[in-house]
Amino acid sequence: MCGIVGYIGHREAYPIILKGLKRLEYRGYDSAGIALFDGTDLKLSKTKGKVANLETKLESEITTHGSVGIGHTRWATHGVPNDVNSHPHYSNSGDLVIIHNGIIENYESLKKELIKRGYVFKSDTDTEVLVNLIEDVKKNEQIKLGKAVQIALNQVVGAYAIAVFDRNKPNEIVVARLGSPLAIGIGDDEFFIASDASPFIEYTKNAIYLEDEEMAIVRRDKGVKIRKIHDDSLVDPYVQELQLNLEQIEKGGYDHFMLKEIYEQPSAILDTFRGRLLTNEAIIKMAGVEDNMKKFLNADRIIIVACGTSWHAGLVAEYIFEDLARIPVEVEYASEFRYRNPIITEKDVVIAISQSGETADTLAAIKLAKSKGAFVFGVCNVVGSSIAREAHAGAYTHAGPEIGVASTKAFTTQITVLTLIALRLSRAKGTISSSDYRHHLIELELIPDKVKKALESDDYVKTIAEIYKDVHNFLYLGRGYNFPVALEGALKLKEISYIHAEGYPAAEMKHGPIALIDENMPIVVIATKKGHYEKVVSNIQEIKSRKGKIIGIVTEGDTQVKELADHVIEVPETIESLSPLLTTIPLQLLSYHIALMLGKNVDQPRNLAKAVTVE
């Protein structure tokens, strides 16, 4: 779960790599480093902390000239984040230098062997073992770098996206991938290497995404040659045209990516259903669903696998699928599912939800489900991502790049896609009346405008944030469709403000969490009109009588909760199944403002990374 960047061509590599690393910081920001070849010497600089620290260090330490180089931004797995464990790593001779995203699981046994052969290690990383293994193979077999990389990788167990450079062969960079993403941008006599296309989008729209178990030799003069790591067969490069544009990956006037992404939700949701939701014709068109309609209709059940926020979207989907399409649904943490010998049959449909499409546990859960014969449908945001490719079919969320580590628009667009699928299936199964179906379509079409309206609470949410920013605990409560929103609200607050928060089904409060309530405890209660309203109002009364501070998320015009709560934030009215798309908005804003007021790094919270490509 790190970001890797490389450049080989005719321009100065340093600014390209540096900017690329800044764009990839969402993947990890414990430390960063760059190696550049200036035509004579290989120069390397690396440091603990963010890319900005590296920038300061680099410019005083080394000359930043050279038209070939590699860079890395790290999310630590093996070895604490410090200067020594930062990438790139040299081989013992100093000839080879490597950057790596992933984990070499058998690194300890490989390291022991290499130590016996006289290799010395400076860092605690698995990556330094790999570069020395490559060096050892190259030296012993007297072979070229590409071949040595291939032989070494055949001895490795784990996951990797790597780029290796040999100072004696300055016209090439060798790259390989297994389980971690790697894209190669193709320019005019220049090539870019990166974990995703964002570092090179302003230079070229043409990219090759390496598949698992592929490696490539990227040569300044001869282009890209791809082969399979295990059987050595040559692969025809498939060059894709990128849809991404530069504006999409910049902050566009907002202070933070998270805020930009919160505000993008009206257009992101619209983009999600554009061309799919045809309200006038009362049609939902989704190729991935149409082409596999039989699989869905014959399914005994749907199993949803996901992690984090995507798992919360899965929980919302469980309500929608069961309620509208009457298909039994199980929602699983991918990390648990993959290791607990689950019962999966050919009559199961597995829906894997992932913004990044790279989450290691979700990917492994898919592979397990496929091996048992289940049909796997992916709901991803990142086009061409590993999960999107691994699934039998799928639907993209079309949310545009989400850079802030805290997921916001990913959540609402995932719910939108899943709602479309559930509606389409309920129509096909006849479990929804045509008037109810039409009503849902009309209401869904209105959601982007209603999200805009919900965003108008921003200033008021800010005043609430000011009041509660110094508390140590928060409770979030919701029922039915809004129980997952309570979980999501609590996760948002935890991950960016580091305030402890718990989400609970409102009625569960009396089975334990009620003991936490006193006059210092803020409790966010989602109490919209259509979702078990009276019951939630009773829960609010229980809180009130224990002097808890109540922040109610209510439907516009509500009076009952207003009388009981300390604060109420209104959202527009909609049908119950769509209410999570609105109630989640003030919760995103609340966590954003609290984190900001506490001086936290909103876009890059500590210890986290955007794409969790390690298990």
When the beta carbons of 20 and 378 are compared against ligand M6R, the nearer one is: 378
- HSE on the CB side for 355, CA within 13 Å? 27
**Residues 477-506 within binding reach of ligand M6R (CB under 6 A):** 491, 495
Question: In angstroms, rounded to a whole number, what is the distance separating the alpha carbons of residues 568 and 521?
Answer: 16
Q: In the sheet that 158-166 helps form, which strands lie side by side, from edge to edge?
A: 89-90, 96-104, 158-166, 172-178, 214-219, 223-228, 234-235
Q: Find the residue with minimal CB distance to ligand M6R.
A: 308
**Residues 304-323 within binding reach of ligand M6R (CB under 6 A):** 307-310
**Residues 400-419 within binding reach of ligand M6R (CB under 6 A):** 405-407
- Residue from 161, 612, 613, 614 touching ligand M6R (CB under 6 A): that is 612
Q: How far is the CB of 7 from ligand M6R (least distance, A)?
A: 27
Closest CA to 607 of 469, 405, 408, 360: 405
Hey, how many other C-beta atoms are within 10 angstroms of the C-beta on 238?
10
Give the x/- contact pattern for ligand M6R in 380-399, rule: CB under 6 A.
--------------------
When the beta carbons of 410 and 578 are compared against ligand M6R, the nearer one is: 410
When the beta carbons of 86 and 407 are compared against ligand M6R, the nearer one is: 407
When the beta carbons of 18 and 403 are compared against ligand M6R, the nearer one is: 403
CA–CA distances in Å: residue 58 to residues 18, 28, 259, 611: 10, 19, 31, 27
- State how beta strands 348-354 and 301-306 pair: parallel
Q: How far is the CB of 592 from ligand M6R (least distance, A)?
A: 12
Active site residue 307: no
Q: How far is the CB of 144 from ligand M6R (least distance, A)?
A: 37
When the beta carbons of 422 and 612 are compared against ligand M6R, the nearer one is: 612
What are 543-548's contacts with CB under 8 Å, separation 24+? 543/509, 543/517, 546/514, 546/517, 546/518, 547/517, 547/518, 547/519, 548/475, 548/517, 548/518, 548/519, 548/521, 548/522, 548/523
Q: Which residues pair with 193 in a beta bridge?
A: 6, 184
When the beta carbons of 133 and 406 are compared against ligand M6R, the nearer one is: 406
Question: In angstroms, rounded to a whole number, what is the distance separating the alpha carbons of residues 529 and 536?
Answer: 10
Question: In angstroms, rounded to a whole number, what is the distance separating the alpha carbons of residues 386 and 355?
Answer: 11
Contact between 227 and 214 (Cβ < 8 Å): yes
Q: How far is the CB of 390 from ligand M6R (least distance, A)?
A: 13
Is 258 among the residues that bind ligand M6R (CB under 6 A)? no
Question: In angstroms, rounded to a whole number, what is the distance separating the alpha carbons of residues 193 and 590?
Answer: 38
Give the x/- contact pattern for ligand M6R in 520-559, rule: CB under 6 A.
----------------------------------------
Q: Torsion angle of alpha carbons 507, 512, 516, 519, nearest 10°?
A: 40
Closest CA to 71 of 163, 1, 153: 163
Element (H, E) at 109: helix 107-116
Give the x/- contact pattern for ligand M6R in 48-87, rule: CB under 6 A.
----------------------------------------
In order, the DSSP letters of 224-239 are: EEEEETTT--EE---P
When the beta carbons of 67 and 265 are compared against ligand M6R, the nearer one is: 265
Q: How far is the CB of 175 from ligand M6R (least distance, A)?
A: 23
Closest CA to 584 of 602, 594, 571: 571
Q: How far is the CB of 486 from ligand M6R (least distance, A)?
A: 15
Q: How far is the CB of 523 from ligand M6R (least distance, A)?
A: 21
Stretch that binds ligand M6R, among 351-359, 526-534, 580-588, 595-603 (CB under 6 A): 351-359
Q: How far is the CB of 248 from ligand M6R (least distance, A)?
A: 17
Q: How far is the CB of 256 from ligand M6R (least distance, A)?
A: 14
Is 362 among the residues that bind ligand M6R (CB under 6 A)? yes
Stretch that binds ligand M6R, among 40-48, 85-93, 197-205, 303-311 (CB under 6 A): 303-311
Active site residue 610: yes
117-152 per-residue burial string, b: 16 or more CB within 10 A, e: under 16: eebeeebebbbbbbbbbbbbbbeeeeeebbebbbbb
Stretch that binds ligand M6R, among 75-83, 188-196, 354-362, 437-445 (CB under 6 A): 354-362
Stretch that binds ligand M6R, among 63-71, 219-227, 352-360, 445-453 (CB under 6 A): 352-360
When the beta carbons of 119 and 498 are compared against ligand M6R, the nearer one is: 498
Q: How far is the CB of 150 from ligand M6R (least distance, A)?
A: 30
Burial class, 277, CB count within 10 angstroms (exposed 0-12 / middle 13-18 / buried 19+): buried
Question: Amino acid identity of 221?
Answer: D
Is 354 among the residues that bind ligand M6R (CB under 6 A)? yes
Is 584 among the residues that bind ligand M6R (CB under 6 A)? no
Tokens of 583: 């109630």
Hey, how many other C-beta atoms are within 10 angstroms of the C-beta on 106?
13
Put residue 105 in one of left, alpha, beta given phi > 0 → left and psi -120 to 50 → alpha.
alpha
Q: Which of 2, 307, 380, 549 is catalytic?
A: 2
When the beta carbons of 69 and 489 are compared against ligand M6R, the nearer one is: 489
Is 180 among the residues that bind ligand M6R (CB under 6 A)? no
Terminal alpha carbon distance of the chain: 10
- Residue from 355, 397, 528, 591 touching ligand M6R (CB under 6 A): that is 355
Question: Amino acid identity of 523?
Answer: I
- Residue from 85, 91, 125, 356 touching ligand M6R (CB under 6 A): that is 356
Contact between 611 and 27 (Cβ < 8 Å): yes
Task: Return residues touching ligand M6R (CB under 6 A).
Answer: 307-310, 354-356, 359, 362, 405-407, 491, 495, 608, 611-612
Which active-site residues does the annotation give?
A: 2, 610
